[in-house]
Structure 1
Amino acid sequence: MKRSKITFFLAIVLGITLHSCLDMEPQDQLGGKNMWTSVNDYKQFANTFYSWTRDFSSVVYDGTHSDKRSDLITYQSYNEFSRGINSIPSSDANYTDNYKHIRRTNLLIENAETYSKPEDIKQYLGEAYFFRAYSYFDLLQLYGDVIITKKPLDITDPEMKVKRNDRSEVVDLIIDDLGHAIDNLPAFKELSTEEEGRISKEGAQAFLSRVALYEGTWQKSRNNNQNTERTKNLLDIAAKAARTVMDAKYGYSFRLFGTDSETKVLGDSAQKYMFILENEKSNPAGIKKSANHEYIFARRHDQILASIGKNITQECLANVQWITRKFANLYLCDDGLPIDKSDRFQKYDEKVSEFLNRDNRMRYTLLKPGTRYWGNKFGRTSWQWDEVDLKTSKLY
């Protein structure tokens, strides 16, 4: 009995001792006690930011501008958004996740202030400013007025329960953050092969142009389509930022895919292959992915480390998108005019009539009746674009 009491007492002591060993900061939070001591610490922490960008899945299902939030697509059972019957959720991951992202960027920015060699980590500091702006822009588009915090707060902290900041303050913060990002980031041409996919000065400038254009036109449309001093300033910022990239001010010339000597051989199908370009077999001209000089900032995928999770070169009928008439009518005619203004529009007399004389984007994003396609089960066999391939295709 006495021995059992001693054993029980030792077990309690051991349990308390081991429990104290567990009282550690989570590694992903990188507080002041555990890391932030080397350039690699900042780089590894900044690497996590890149999983926040939109990809093929998130942009379709719940992106800020997801078509499923609109009246442009529907389902076998009608789209609740286009019918106006969507409910108000008690919580929204778009809100909580973006503030988690902001907390992480604030952690890096805060710790960078005391790093002994700031020049060595300026790229990752620039990335933190960029992704804080990126996250706040998501919030701005969804909610307008949101809470601004520059400290690494948790979503449950009391400071996150205060009155929301006006959207103009949010926009000013985003523009200011992008200015810091541009100052600290390398130019596109300075990125090494290993760093391909990281944000550059040009990427931040292009995003700045998008933000300023969005807010400038948003404000203008709410002022009877008349400019104010605010909208003029925003649209001027947008134009200057875009021109900086277009004029190759940082030494790299981006080019429209399908217009340069490498890719113009694809003709009017260039828009189609730009999004599925992988290797020589993925297109009839044998062009490699390196021939694409249009992307200013692209999310990188790897078959093993970061799979795309979507079969983008074949069908996806299990998750087919049912477009609305409004969506189909938005495609311009090949003279650049909308269908109600153009003499080129062929109306709806035949199944394929409305596809004639339309913008190539309609041809390559919608499946026209009579088109052959390759399914998930029976993909291409020869990649030679010949009769052998056609035998495995289906007729829509």
Structure 2
Amino acid sequence: MKITFKQTLLSLSLVTCMTACDVNRLPETNISDMTFWTSESDIKAANNYLYTFLPGFSNEEVWSDDAFGLASNSISDGSRLAPATAADYNSPYNLIRAANNILEKAPRAAVAPAVLNRYLAEAYFFRAWGYFSLVQKYGSVPLILKTLEEGSPELTEAAAPRETVVDQIYMDLDFAVMNLPTITTLGAADYGRISRTAAQAFKARVGLFEGTYGKYHAKGDASKHLNIAAVSSKEVIDSKEHALFGNYFDLFQMAGEGRQNKENIIVKQYGVSSTERVLTHAYYRSSLENGNINPTKSLADSYLMKDGLPLSKSPLWSVPDSSHKVFKNRDLRMSATFMKRGDAMMTTKPIFDIANLVFNKTGYMFRKFANVNDWNTQASVIDRPLLRYAEVLLIYAEATYELKGAITDAELDMSINLLRARGEVAKLTNAFVTANALNMRDEIRRERRVELAQEGFRYWDLIRWKIAEMELVKPVLGNFYFKNEFAAATVNLAPDNVILVQDASFRKFNPARDYLWPLPINEIALNPALKQNAGW
């Protein structure tokens, strides 16, 4: 296997990197590496590289039934083929290699044990992050816990069992929880670095995914993982380190930046202004306004009326005869997530009236992260929230219900109902569910869908709940077709006067194959012991 090396300058330090297919081969190559690991600043600089792997803005929502782009998506409609190479496979292993390198070399530094353990904890956290990304997509994968050389036998070993990889993730996160500072201790100066509650919250995310995946796919010890999710999320709640941000729309604007927003637990940082920036992105103009990601009717219909009832049951709902009435008497989070008449839009069209069907194929347009100045500059520094306290509350509610088959009103009040209050939606109680012939599991899942819409969760929820085979094969529908409002365009309509974006005949999902992703063909060629996932 060919090996290529490159050096990256980061925070005045040299960090040795490698090509994707050789993620764990890291020989001692020069004197500078041997003399680098001497101080806390050296370790911190090396750890800074790990943060570059936190994912930025993307259009991954189109994998799910929540969004559609300018054209069909091969993951969503089941038409993809096994790739030759895949960044989704190689990039996590690059992160894992970098973390392993730090875990091996940071102990050389002359620092106090507590200081060393703090930075080792960051490395353990990021190794866990990398492995969870792999497990979600591929299931069983090679488990590499050290940097490898040319002849290392691990290069030709088979994938480790999924449960073994996940147990390692938990062990890494346990070390992180024990040794990371609290977010209060980090303060404003170190805002954005991984905290103790970040590790606890991420452990809860892993536990919920694995617990529900195990439960609904009949694999492994579901209760073990669900208990981890419930306990870890409750630890975050009990820490009192976090709270919900007051305004849902502002949560995804510059107003929601920084330590003053206690809801954000892990963020991809971009900066605080155009002059004080780390990175920039053009997510609003290149993805939302240009139509690379548009909300669907399926997502729109998930938002409750203010009385807490779905559209099919609420007396507050009637079929709208104009676009702004779609939002009447609805959960306020819908208005914060979807563009509606009167919202600020962009420099060449200051006020939104109706979506442009040439770009926004569904007749809807996302509003989260939309900012007029960012449209103009195409250089936004709005951070991407990767793990919010709202998710922790949702994990606690779902894990509790999935473990016990029930959830108390007190448990709902400390989780789901805090989110509903922000959306000005009636509380969810057991009596309310019974009186209105609702299903508690469905309502908990609905709450997760609307709260985390446009943040990259829906596809993975369909996977772990094993309902992708039911949801992803449905036709993709959009907004009601308001003929007097939309500009002239060729539009296919479903019988109930909603926009038909993609017919069900073009959509498929193979439950024997598509719940796991295909391993890259080149990786299997390089390591014959690595077996392709079933059906690919």
Question: Under a length normalisation based on structure 2, what TM-score does the superposition of the two structures give?
Answer: 0.55
Matches within 5 A, 1:1-396: 27-29=14-16, 31=28, 33-55=34-56, 57=57, 60-61=58-59, 66-117=60-111, 118-153=113-148, 159-223=154-218, 230-248=221-239, 252-258=240-246, 270-278=247-255, 291-302=260-271, 303=274, 304-310=276-282, 312=284, 316-368=288-340, 370-377=341-348
Per-residue deviation, 1:148: 0.5
% same residue: 31
Question: Relative to structure 1, is the Cα distance of residues 318 and 299 closer, same or farther in structure 2, using a 3 angstrom cutoff?
Answer: same
Query: Is the Cα–Cα contact under 8 Å of residues 188 and 259 in structure 2 kept in the other structure?
Result: no
Question: Relative to structure 1, is the Cα distance of residues 161 and 356 closer, same or farther in structure 2, using a 3 angstrom cutoff?
Answer: farther
Q: Distance in 1 between matches of 2:326 and 2:277?
A: 43
* Count of residue pairs brought into register by the alignment: 327
Q: Distance in 2 between matches of 1:71 and 1:316?
A: 16
Structure 1: runs of 5 or more not aligned? 1-22, 259-269, 280-287, 381-388, 390-394
Q: Distance in 1 between matches of 2:286 and 2:84?
A: 37
Question: Relative to structure 1, is the Cα distance of residues 296 and 289 closer, same or farther in structure 2, using a 3 angstrom cutoff?
Answer: closer
SS at match of 2:234: helix
SS at match of 1:298: strand
Residues 315-368 of structure 1: per-residue CA shift (max 9 Å, x gap): 952345233322222223333343334443323554344322322221111123
Query: Is the Cα–Cα contact under 8 Å of residues 276 and 312 in structure 1 kept in the other structure?
Result: no
Amino acid at match of 2:269: R
Q: Distance in 2 between matches of 1:321 and 1:24?
A: 35
Question: Relative to structure 1, is the Cα distance of residues 48 and 236 closer, same or farther in structure 2, using a 3 angstrom cutoff?
Answer: same
Q: Distance in 2 between matches of 1:45 and 1:375?
A: 40
Question: Relative to structure 1, is the Cα distance of residues 314 and 367 closer, same or farther in structure 2, using a 3 angstrom cutoff?
Answer: farther
- Compute the RMSD of aligned alpha carbons: 3.2
Residues 217-267 of structure 1: per-residue CA shift (max 9 Å, x gap): 11111239xxx8x2222222111111111112xxx5311111xxxxxxxxx
- Per residue, is there more helix in 1 or in 2? 1
Query: Is the Cα–Cα contact under 8 Å of residues 315 and 375 in structure 1 kept in the other structure?
Result: no
Amino acid at match of 1:211: V
Amino acid at match of 1:89: P
SS at match of 2:212: helix
Question: Relative to structure 1, is the Cα distance of residues 170 and 315 closer, same or farther in structure 2, using a 3 angstrom cutoff?
Answer: closer
Q: Distance in 1 between matches of 2:348 and 2:151?
A: 47
Q: Distance in 2 between matches of 1:46 and 1:274?
A: 28
Q: Distance in 1 between matches of 2:287 and 2:137?
A: 31
Q: Distance in 2 between matches of 1:162 and 1:366?
A: 48
Q: Distance in 1 between matches of 2:282 and 2:212?
A: 34
Paired residue for 2:499? none
SS at match of 1:83: coil
Pair member with larger Rg: 1
SS at match of 2:15: helix
Query: Is the Cα–Cα contact under 8 Å of residues 191 and 259 in structure 2 kept in the other structure?
Result: no
Amino acid at match of 1:308: T
Q: Distance in 1 between matches of 2:6 and 2:191?
A: 35
Q: Distance in 2 between matches of 1:141 and 1:219?
A: 12
Query: Is the Cα–Cα contact under 8 Å of residues 69 and 291 in structure 2 kept in the other structure?
Result: no
Question: Relative to structure 1, is the Cα distance of residues 157 and 378 closer, same or farther in structure 2, using a 3 angstrom cutoff?
Answer: farther
Q: Distance in 2 between matches of 1:77 and 1:300?
A: 30
Per-residue deviation, 1:159: 2.4
Paired residue for 2:513? none
**Which range is displaced more, 91-100 or 111-120?**
111-120
Amino acid at match of 1:254: H
Amino acid at match of 1:242: S
Q: Distance in 2 between matches of 1:343 and 1:168?
A: 48
Query: Is the Cα–Cα contact under 8 Å of residues 203 and 297 in structure 1 kept in the other structure?
Result: yes
Per-residue deviation, 1:99: 0.3
Residues 293-322 of structure 1: per-residue CA shift (max 9 Å, x gap): 211222322245412313659995234523
Paired residue for 1:8? none
Q: Distance in 2 between matches of 1:209 and 1:113?
A: 29
Amino acid at match of 1:70: S
Question: Relative to structure 1, is the Cα distance of residues 186 and 245 closer, same or farther in structure 2, using a 3 angstrom cutoff?
Answer: same
Question: Under a length normalisation based on structure 1, what TM-score does the superposition of the two structures give?
Answer: 0.73
Per-residue deviation, 1:33: 2.1
